[in-house]
Amino acid sequence: MNHKHLIAATMLVGSGLATTPSFADDLTLCWAAWDPANALVELSKEFEAESGHNMSFEFVPWPNFADRMLNELNSGGKLCDLLIGDSQWIGGGAENGHYVKLNDFFDKESISMDDFAPATVYAYSTWPKGTPNYYALPAMGDANGWFYRKDWFENPDIRAAYKEATGNELGEPKTQLELMEIAKFFQNREIDGKKVYGSAIFTERGSEGITMGATGALYTFGFKYENTPGSYDMDGAVNSADAIAGLEFYKELYKCCTPPGYTNSYMEQTLDAFKSGQAAMAMNWFAFFPGLYADPDTGGDKIGFFVNPAQKVAASTLGGQGISVVQYSDKQDAALEYIKWFAQPEVQSQWWALGGYSAHNSVLQDPGFVDSQPFAGDFLEAMNNVQDFWQEPTYAELLLAMQKRLHDYIVADQGTAEEALNKLKDDWTEVFEDEGKL
């Protein structure tokens, strides 16, 4: 602790303003580098003022986030006192002892998981899944959603051309097949003297991109990871006829209706394609929607938002994270103070107002929530039907396998959808056999 902070802490204690008798600590919170992280820095100034602790932040760009943070955890590093880790890390965080189990703390401080949206508690906090064993507080609700050029969709000439071409009215798609129809209509069309493209979607191979994009289609067609949850019985689920149809759909959407050279795209690329006026529709995480709406060129009246369209099933690919206390931190008490502060309804309300996505029921169930942002209603709908990737401790191996099989089929044109999913099922079977789970 440096001298300056010691003096500050002593002054606080002396004046009776301190919330706890502990001296001020320098806490480091680790997360990905993106818009919500900037909102959290702003929000956390209030915690610093109330607690006397000083907050530092380590934000890592998304493509490097998992490698950097999982290496940090696996090496028992002390960089992070608090970590907003991805939902898929919760199994490893719990089983490998990286995250502090929070049950006793929640009980002591009367923090109830019933106060948070059930899907976020299940996905971000629990291990084993669905059990009352908590290793994180839901911090950032998120799902993969869609945005579109509302000004194009409302243009009378474009609407007339769409009606003539398809026999249907142009509007927000309610099914994946409608989305494809709209994307095909816009592909290579000239608008305002410029060639445009139907959709900007995820195809990135290196981290998680193509999996997070393709599952948006797969889940809605009926893909499942297991026949019975917790069974690791994958044959006929991962490679079902519905799953095959969903994968074939996503490949067709990629082949028919994306910008040229779009072979390795994720968050940044779909945002760029939309903001540069190339794409009629694009997918990305709700986390980016406040920034998109505020964009001077393609935001405001020009942009609209819709939830991932259903097909056989209403489903959205889950994003988002919980906030955990790192087991290797020497400042766990101060880190737990931050969790207690962050869990307060009034702080959660401010979090939403600043551009973060609260998972607290007091925010989500507020009568004014749906009208508070043009994407708020879609966000609520998405969070009611989210599905997530495996959260196993072996998540990284499972993800690498899916990234390879999907990219080889969708982008590199290798084999059929059925072959890709059969190979994926075999890859995953091998991982779970090595784990002793099969």
Are 176 and 215 in the same domain?
A: yes
Count of domains for the chain: 2
Question: Taking all residues of the chain, what is their mean pLDDT, rounded to a whole number?
Answer: 94
Query: CB-based contacts of 99: which residues, under 8 Å, 6+ apart?
Result: 83, 85, 90, 93, 135, 136, 324, 325, 326, 327
Are 76 and 155 in the same domain?
A: no
Are 171 and 86 in the same domain?
A: no
Strand duo 26-32 + 54-60: pairing: parallel
Task: Identify the CATH number of the domain in which residue 56 sits.
Answer: 3.40.190.10
Q: What pTM was computed for the model?
A: 0.93
Does residue 11 register a pLDDT over 50? Answer: no
- Joined tokens for residue 33: 């580098």
pLDDT in tens, 105-136: 999 999 999 999 999 999 999 999 999 999 99
Are 215 and 304 in the same domain?
A: yes
pLDDT in tens, 303-350: 999 999 999 999 999 999 999 999 999 999 999 999 999 999 999 999
Alpha carbons 438 and 430: distance in angstroms, whole number? 9
Q: 48 near 300, Cβ under 8 Å?
A: no
pLDDT-derived band at 22 (thresholds 50, 70, 90) equals low
| Averaged pLDDT for residues 292-309 | 98
Are 148 and 114 in the same domain?
A: no
| Averaged pLDDT for residues 359-369 | 98
pLDDT number for residue 16: 35
pLDDT number for residue 8: 36
Which range of residues forms the domain containing residue 276?
Answer: 143-317+390-435
Are 115 and 155 in the same domain?
A: no
Are 232 and 277 in the same domain?
A: yes
pLDDT in tens, 255-284: 999 999 999 999 999 999 999 999 999 999
pLDDT-derived band at 24 (thresholds 50, 70, 90) equals confident
pLDDT-derived band at 10 (thresholds 50, 70, 90) equals very low
- Percent of all residues in the chain with a pLDDT value above 70, rounded to a whole number: 95
| Averaged pLDDT for residues 36-59 | 98
Are 150 and 284 in the same domain?
A: yes
CA triple 333-336-341, angle to 5 deg? 130
Are 274 and 363 in the same domain?
A: no
Are 270 and 416 in the same domain?
A: yes
Does residue 403 register a pLDDT over 70? Answer: yes
Residue (of 144, 83, 10) closest to 324 by Cα position: 83
- Joined tokens for residue 46: 């209030």
Reduced 3-state DSSP string for the chain = CCHHHHHHHHHHHHHCCCCCCCCCCEEEEEEECCHHHHHHHHHHHHHHHHHCCEEEEEEECHHHHHHHHHHHHHCCCCCCCEEEEEHHHHHHHHHCCCECCCHHHHHHHCCCHHHECHHHHHHHCECCCCCCCECCEEEEEEEEEEEEEHHHHCCHHHHHHHHHHHCCCCCCCCEHHHHHHHHHHHCCCEECCEECEEEECCCCCCCCHHHHHHHHHHHHHCCCCCCCCCCCCCCCCCCCHHHHHHHHHHHHHHHHHCCCCCCCCCHHHHHHHHHCCCEEEEEEEHHHHHHHHHCCCCCHHHEEEECCCECCCCCEEEEEEEEEEECCCCCHHHHHHHHHHHCCHHHHHHHHHHCCCCCEHHHHCCCCCCCCCCCHHHHHHHHCCEECCCCCCCHHHHHHHHHHHHHHHHCCCCCCHHHHHHHHHHHHHHHHHHHCCC
Are 260 and 189 in the same domain?
A: yes
pLDDT-derived band at 3 (thresholds 50, 70, 90) equals very low
Alpha carbons 219 and 242: distance in angstroms, whole number? 9
Q: 9 near 17, Cβ under 8 Å?
A: no
pLDDT-derived band at 68 (thresholds 50, 70, 90) equals very high
Are 251 and 292 in the same domain?
A: yes
pLDDT in tens, 189-232: 999 999 999 999 999 999 999 999 999 999 999 999 999 999 99
Q: How far from the centroid of its chain's Cα atoms is residue 21's Cα?
A: 37
